[in-house]
Amino acid sequence: MIVDCHTHFVGELYGDLGGNVRSLVESMDVHGIDHAVVFTLDGFFEESRPHNDKLAEFVESHPGRLTGFATVDPRRADAAAEVRRAVTELGMKGVKFHPWLQGFSPVEAFMNPIAETCAELGVPIIFHDGTPPYTTPLQIALLAERHPELTVILGHSGLLDLWPEALVAASRNDNVWLCLCGPPTAALQKLVDAVPHERIVFGSDIGFGRDYQARHRIEQVRVLDLTDKSCEAILGGNAARLLSLA
Amino acid sequence: MRIVDAHCTIGDGRVASLSADELVRQLDANGVEAAVIGPPDRCLAVANRDGNEFVLDACRRHPDRLIGFATVNPWYGDDAVAELQRAAAAGLRGLILHPPLQGYILLDTLVDPVLAVAEEHGLPVWAPTGKPFQSLPLQLTELARRFPNVNFMMGHMGHSDFWIEAVPAAAAAPNIYAEVSYKQPSVIVDAVMQLGPGRVVFGSDAPFNDLRLEVEKFREAELDDRARELVGAETLLSLLPS
């Protein structure tokens, strides 16, 4: 079973990269992905509530294939309430933040009530990570340290330049998970050598642009020096456990 | 399709290691005609002469398959200039600058004496881009404007999060060529459409990336035959001194 923890729902504002010939679920079928976690894009730029609704509708139109993660503008006073609504009323199972798109740092105080709400509801927060000024793994890990009951996922495991931060953050903090999605293969090997495998998931970043990178990123995990059991856990089993997928 | 890889590293590095012989075996296995090679991180940072000799030795053993690029850390001043003169005379055919490992910002005038040597010998210059804040696409553009007679390869095309400005930055100076390691097929096709097929070169960044997966990814990019030839091999070969 392959569970892809990093995909995008292309809306109207944030267009695709061109050449996108398949829907998300068609891409999943082509590349053998059983289930995907999907995020809004437009919701990062506009009021998030209607975009959470739109994403929930999309998820519901593909029963059993997709899990939606909400987003909120964390500066707003009603941010934690919107997280609660998205989880309890829309069936979302997590929250996605892209701090450099949304213009905040993960360490800012307004993140605390959101983190507390997610911890109480038992849903993770996944972050875009890997680049300064506002998406470094250690910034995100500081939020995780403040909220030990919260599960935080580094959505790119540090990308090309900051994966050494992701390695340290996930090695030290039991509530920091890695989503393998972006670092070079040699860095992925260093990450899986250092971080407990039960806290590592996989993501493709598909949803805009050609879906080829789903194949590329699945292969990047398959070529790692891992036991079959760990490889299967990273490609699907861990995410299924985290998201309580049937 | 002919493929010549614009950027590989040989030797023992902090993150990955690859011998020249193993690289040639991988080139064979993936239908790659030849590859540009540079020395590993320690040699980029400090032991430049060791690295250049190591690369030269690999090229002597695989003269038809490996194209050696030199490196010098411009902080060594006159010694860096002398070492690049020596390496070029000995047969190395390009220059790698690595601001994060070598300790400066890409557009610093510290690099000017070294680039003057590159200009004198017709050496193309490869630098990683997308490394905040020392080595970014628009910093390469400034350098390319300062040295209009030197050809520059925009390593990794701004990857990670600076890919958005890579094409505009390359378009702003005619002597920049986008090197597309890490970039997905859609982005490669977009770069070819916007910059023209003669301004984009294939590179793998092996062994940090898996050579097989980078080659398979490049073959997936929907380019016409002429663009494939140019991006795959011809443009890079045309940049090399004879």
Per-residue confidence (pLDDT) for residue A212, from 0 to 100: 92
Residue B4 DSSP SS3: strand
pTM, rounded to two decimals: 0.96
Q: What is the pLDDT of residues A46-61, one digit of tens each?
A: 999 999 999 999 999 9
**DSSP E strands, B137-199:** 152-155, 176-179
Per-residue confidence (pLDDT) for residue B85, from 0 to 100: 98
Per-residue confidence (pLDDT) for residue A209, from 0 to 100: 74
Per-residue confidence (pLDDT) for residue A138, from 0 to 100: 98
Say whether domain A3-242 belongs to CATH 2.60.40.10.
no
Per-residue confidence (pLDDT) for residue A18, from 0 to 100: 60
Residue A16 vs residue A40, higher pLDDT: A40
How many contacts does A have with B, using Cβ atoms within 8 A?
71
Per-residue confidence (pLDDT) for residue A19, from 0 to 100: 62
Per-residue confidence (pLDDT) for residue A16, from 0 to 100: 63
ipTM for the predicted complex comes to 0.95
* Whether the predicted pLDDT of A190 surpasses 70: yes
Instruction: Please report which confidence band the pLDDT of residue A20 belongs to, taking 50, 70 and 90 as the band edges.
Output: low
Q: Which of A185, A222, A223 to mutate to test the interface with B (most CBs of B within 10 A)?
A: A185
Q: Which of B136, B160, B205 to mutate to test the interface with A (most CBs of A within 10 A)?
A: B160
- Contacting residues for B157 by C-beta, under 8 A, at least 6 apart: B129, B130, B137, B163, B166, B170, B178, B179, B180, B181, B182, B183, B187, B191
Q: For the domain bounded by B4-239, which CATH number is listed?
A: 3.20.20.140
Closest by Cβ to B184, choosing from A185, A210, A223: A210
- Contacting residues for A92 by C-beta, under 8 A, at least 6 apart: A52, A55, A56, A67, A68, A69, A70, A86, A123
Domain ranges of chain B: 4-239
The arithmetic mean of pLDDT across residues A78-106, rounded, is 98
Per-residue confidence (pLDDT) for residue A84, from 0 to 100: 98
**What are the percentages of helix, strand and coil residues in chain B, rounded to 5?**
50, 15, 35
CA distances from A141 to A80, A100, A126, B68, B183 (A): 20, 16, 12, 41, 28
Residue B172 DSSP SS3: coil
B127 vs B110: CA distance, rounded Å: 15
- Report the residue of chain B nearest A161, measured CA to CA: B131
Token pair for A228: 């079959």
Q: Tell me the pLDDT of chain A averaged across its residues.
A: 96
Integer Rg of chain A from CA? 16
Q: Which residues of B touch A100 (CB under 8 A)?
A: 161
Identify the CA nearest to A213 among candidates A198, A203, A222: A203
Per-residue confidence (pLDDT) for residue A132, from 0 to 100: 93
* Whether the predicted pLDDT of A21 surpasses 90: no
Enumerate residue ranges in chain B where pLDDT < 70.
Answer: none
Question: CA of A139, closest CA in chain B: separation in Å?
Answer: 16
Contact B135, B127 (CB under 8 A): yes
The arithmetic mean of pLDDT across residues A58-86, rounded, is 98
